[in-house]
Amino acid sequence: MSVEMIKAMIQKISEMLVDKPNRIVIGDEMRDDTTIIVLSVDKSDVGKVIGRNGQTAKALRALVNAAATRMGIKVLLEIRE
């Protein structure tokens, strides 16, 4: 598994959550020894990705963390509009 596979996983999950899947953009940035996966969605879909009280975002971050830990790398998920 690589960062690209984690990005693909986030892409698939995000497509199921939002109304405008064609507006999803996933990029990555490096900060020190950590890869930051940046998930950008349409302004109207941000609430769907974050979820009630942040539960959906927390679950997405847990999945990213579990996959990254299994690979032995540091990866964080950042959600932007």
The domain ranges of the chain are 3-80
Residue 81 has what pLDDT?
84
Bridge partners (DSSP) of residue 27 are: 38
Query: In the CATH scheme, what is the homologous superfamily, with its name and number, of domain 3-80?
Result: K homology (KH) domain (3.30.300.20)
Residue 71 has what pLDDT?
92
Let me know if 5 is exposed, middle or buried by CB neighbors in 10 A (0-12, 13-18, 19+). exposed
Query: Structure pTM?
Result: 0.90
pLDDT along the chain (81 residues), means of 10: 90 96 95 95 95 96 95 94 84
Alpha-carbon distance 68 to 60, whole Å?
12
Residue 60 has what pLDDT?
96
